[in-house]
Amino acid sequence: MKKYIAYCRKSRDEADKQVLSIEAQIAELKEFAKREHLEIVEFIEEAKTAKMPGREKFADVIKKLEKGYANGILAWHPDRLARNSMDGGKIVYLLDTGKLIDLKFPTFWFENTPQGKFMLSIAFGQSKYYVDNLSENVKRGLRQKLRNGVWPAKAPYGYVNNPKTRGIDVDSEKSKAIKRVFEMFAEGNRTFTDIAKYLRRFGLMRKNEKPLHINEIRQILSNKFYVGIMFYNGEYHNGNHKCLISKELFQKAQEEIQRRSKHFKKSYRFPFLGLARCSECGAAITAEQHTKFYKTTNRKVTYIYYRCTKKLGPCSQTPITSFEMEEKIRKVVSDVVLPQSWANKWLKFLERDELQERQSSKATIQNLKTEIQEIDRKQNTLLDSYLDSVVDPETYKSKKNEMFETKLKIQEEITKVEDTGSSWLEPMREFVKCALQAQKIARAKNNCEELAFFAKRVGSNFFLSDRQISAEYIKGFSALRAGGGARSASSNTFDFSRCVGVGRLELPTVRTPCECASQLRHTPVN
């Protein structure tokens, strides 16, 4: 006797989509079974797509057929059973082995004969073709949206999907929170946890109403979508949506992320860990904590020492206390302080020279635009090679992203030249500001983390030798140290030629900030 399992499936499990689909199938199948005098032993319902294998309820149907609980399946149409070749093959295989005797559909004729199984295979193939074709149409639509500069997925935080225009609009309230988050983070005095709590006040949180995870905050702060660049399916695309923040603010946030990533695994108790190496054996300098109990005062005192790891061999260097280490690093920073009087004159000179540079920047901009045209030509050639199957997809994406990044940097360079007149002006201005900031950093208290970070901005290759710190100063700062830094503030004969000879250029001695800056602009400054 034939016993049937009635299998009803809908593709989505959302409450507001296909709500009556399964209910309608059950009603139709009951009427069909009554009309055809079929015995239904069980109704099995499932709300899951059949595009891919892995449906739990469908697997239960197969197991029950194999165990002999039933020997027939009743469904609305073959596409309810399978839309992929694997599940369709299981049905045909059960028919071949006799575990499945019959299939009944109100909308499809089937007979357990070679011709019937052939027609069933065609029906399964048509169902798979429908899904595959639908998938290609959807992908084609997504690619066209990307070409038009429209984000094809869920809008990032600060934006909303517009169901009418199918585009991305700015969320008037949450966008302000996102912009403020970038500003707060770029200042360098807020943690990821602080930012997560701040966003929670504006409704930006996880589904369980808890603050966003630290990794989610990192993704927000690293998302180029906020500056008009979309990254989708491994490729970069230009977006036409409104940018929430400026490229300068985004770049500051990235620098802050990079700075924190370097110190992410460090203990807050050892801020100078990893800064220096041992000058005698070349091994790294590590930190350790010791606690001493004083009986006379009945208290414990914790001391922190920095010492050579001695992993590369015997070493005679002695440890140095954290207090001594801090004082040595402060000395490194204070030696490169720029006198305020000279800084003011340099900045005035930069403003004057900026006007002159803007007038002579047309040739530079034209050369950069020519480079962009060349990149566009190479991108078209790469696309043609990809379409002709000369280049594989992975190589195509890699090369396209590489060209996109190069083009983006050139466009940013054009913007800088248009705004400032030349690429040397901004680094020079940043150098002056950094040298001015050195005095504040060196004098501040309880700022060891900031002190360690700033030390890496002015120098590199730090070595510990006989409880003394030596460093190789970066361009510009080495000249300030050689010239005496702030100690020369009262002197009108400060040799600024040392500051402009950074790039191994043989320059004459100059004694005015204008002459110094004029020559320094021809030398790259970090």
More reliable by pLDDT, 444 or 399 = 399
pLDDT at 30: 92
Q: Where residue 368 falls among pLDDT bands split at 50, 70, 90?
A: confident
- For the chain, give every residue range classified as CATH 3.90.1750.20: 159-262
Mean pLDDT, residues 360-380: 85
pLDDT at 483: 59
Shortest CA distance to 216 belongs to which of 203, 231, 201, 204?
A: 204
- The pTM of the whole model exceeds 0.75: no
Mean pLDDT, residues 237-260: 87
Q: Which of 73-87, 147-161, 293-307, 426-440 has the lowest mean pLDDT?
A: 426-440
Pairing of β 468-473 and β 459-465: antiparallel
Residues in CB range of 378: below 8 A, 6 or more apart: 403
Q: Where residue 275 falls among pLDDT bands split at 50, 70, 90?
A: confident
Mean pLDDT, residues 235-246: 88
Fold exhibited by the domain 3-143? Rossmann fold (3.40.50)
pLDDT at 423: 56
Question: Which run of H or E residues covers position 449?
Answer: helix 448-458
- For the chain, give every residue range classified as CATH 3.40.50.1390: 3-143
Asked whether residue 443 carries a pLDDT value surpassing 50, the answer given is: yes
Judge whether 2 and 72 are in contact, CB under 8 Å. Answer: yes
Phi-psi region of 355 (alpha: psi -120 to 50; beta: other; left: phi over 0): alpha
Judge whether 504 and 486 are in contact, CB under 8 Å. Answer: no
159-262 placed in CATH 3.30.160.620:
no
Distance CA 372, CA 378 (A): 10
Q: Which of 151-155, 209-213, 343-347, 499-503 has the lowest mean pLDDT?
A: 499-503
Q: Where residue 166 falls among pLDDT bands split at 50, 70, 90?
A: confident
Mean pLDDT, residues 254-272: 68
Q: Where residue 519 falls among pLDDT bands split at 50, 70, 90?
A: very low
186-207 pLDDT, tens digit per residue, is 887 677 888 888 888 888 888 8
232-260 in b/e burial notation, b at 16+ Cβ within 10 A?
A: beeebbebebeebbebebbebbeebbeeb
- Among the residues of 246-361, which ranges form H helices? 247-262, 322-334, 340-359
Average pLDDT, the chain: 80
pLDDT at 524: 39
pLDDT at 105: 93
pLDDT at 42: 93
Q: With pLDDT > 70 as the criterion, what percentage of the chain qualifies?
A: 85
pLDDT at 461: 87
Pairing of β 3-10 and β 72-74: parallel
Q: Where residue 58 falls among pLDDT bands split at 50, 70, 90?
A: very high
Mean pLDDT, residues 394-409: 87
Tokens in use for 427?
A: 């680094």
